[in-house]
Amino acid sequence: MKKYINPKKSAWPQLLQRPTRALNDLETTISEIFSEVQRKGDIAVATYTQKFDGVTINNSQVSEEEINAATISEALKKAILLAKDNIETFHKAQKTATVRVETMPGVVCWQEKRPIKKVGLYIPGGTAPLFSTILMLAIPAKLAGCTEIVLCTPPSKDGTIHPAILFTAALCGITKLYKVGGVQAISAMTFGTETIPAVYKIFGPGNQFVTAAKQRATNYGVAIDMPAGPSELLVFADETAIPAFVASDLLSQAEHGIDSQVMLVSTSEIVLNNIMIEVETQLDKLPRKEIAKQALLGSKSIVVSSEEEAIELINQYAPEHCTIIAKKEAFFVQNIQNAGSVFIGNYTPESAGDYASGTNHTLPTNGYSKQYSGVNLDSFLKSVTFQKISEKGIEALGPFIEIMADAEGLQAHKNAVSLRLASIRNNAPTR
């Protein structure tokens, strides 16, 4: 982690950049896969599974027997159940009441939420089977009332799916599971195949191919949760922070992938140095130390002159995860504008949010927390507005609509009001 002492603000944009990777060939590959899957459906999907995952899958739908046969330890089951409980509790509480207002006498407007009927969840396989992501996506999808929930995840070389993924999916009530990963999964959920249903919105993390494929899916009218990128964490720590704890948090995000980025910010160089010593010690004992080491190369530690400057830097970086361990904790909480999820105090590890405290771990990366929210109950809902206007209401409102329609040169719009007003006037004596 490169160290910067009181860098000038003019140097911040450069300093706060995410590591970039060359995206050669990405677009060509993706567009080819999309058009093949659109034209040939299941056959194309199977061909790409063979090519990229190295396994022949005849029927991509996971059978009930396979799901039932999945065994995991009792301890893991218990942990997943507890996490499910907390995530359910927190997301259930996000339900909002119908907004209903009489904007003027006789004019009633209201807004109700409706589920997005068909949603697709993408769960990466790869170096770590992220079954926790199923909890983060399937629980709010169920709570929202989505009726068709499709889950795609890549098969391993022997054609199987990790038992914890199968167990968690079944626990969340997901029945439509497919052994399909990568771009072929995203295109299958975009167009639908003989086996895999098309969906209206696709959720979930993935590598750069999956991310770019999700973005392409939007060209075909499919919505996506957010443009996802490599994991990141920014920690602000002062003298109150326990160095070993902070180091473990930094490493927990660094171990995700070589392009993950962690940022350590402090008002004290001594604090920063102590934490870095801990990072070195802990890193050495990690099974994924090679990955974490690479991630640390693109990571930074920064000394700033004050808490105010730290806040400015945080809001400019807009981290996915932000940990605050500071005397002036309340000041930070009040002033953080841009962050996906915030973790406060020595005893709040970032992994609590990754797994089990209740908050969602599907969060905006790459600075997108400036304009995007993390996944939450509303991500699976949309709002529909309603209105009902009485005769009295249109009598009062109508003349104003007529004037506006007239000014926009839209006669039919005006007529829609005028006819009603005339009818009310004509019938007035008998009313």
| Minimum CB distance to ligand HSO smaller for 174 or for 304 | 174
CA 28/CA 24 separation, integer angstroms: 9
Residue 361 binds ligand HSO, judged by CB under 6 A? yes
DSSP string covering 114-133: EE-SEEEEE---TTS--HHH
Q: Determine which residue in the list 60, 187, 211, 231 makes contact with ligand HSO, applying CB under 6 A.
A: 231
363 binds, among ligand HSO, Zn ion, none (CB under 5 to 8 A by kind): ligand HSO
Beta bridge partner(s), residue 114? 382
Q: Determine which residue in the list 291, 311, 354, 359 makes contact with ligand HSO, applying CB under 6 A.
A: 354
Q: Determine which residue in the list 132, 190, 354, 365 makes contact with Zn ion, applying CB under 5 A.
A: 354
Residue 187 binds ligand HSO, judged by CB under 6 A? no
365 closest CA partner among 223, 214, 228: 228
**Binding marks (x or -) toward ligand HSO, 85..124, rule CB under 6 A?**
----------------------------------------
Give me the amino acid identity at 229: G
| Minimum CB distance to ligand HSO smaller for 91 or for 361 | 361
Identify the active-site residue in 320, 361, 395, 408.
Answer: 320
| Minimum CB distance to ligand HSO smaller for 45 or for 356 | 356
Identify the active-site residue in 256, 321, 350, 361.
Answer: 321
Mapping DSSP to helix (H, G, I), strand (E, B) and coil, where does residue 21 land? Answer: coil
CA 411/CA 160 separation, integer angstroms: 63
Residue 342 binds ligand HSO, judged by CB under 6 A? no
Q: What are phi and psi of 38, to 5 degrees?
A: -65, -40
| Minimum CB distance to Zn ion smaller for 356 or for 377 | 356
Q: Is 321 a known active-site residue? A: yes
Task: Write b or e for each residue in 268-289: b if 16 or more Cβ atoms lie within 10 A of its Cβ, otherwise e.
Answer: eeebbebbbebbeebbeeeebb
Q: Do 176 and 147 contact (CB within 8 A), yes or no?
A: no
**Binding marks (x or -) toward ligand HSO, 118..137, rule CB under 6 A?**
------------x-xx----
Active site residues: 320-321
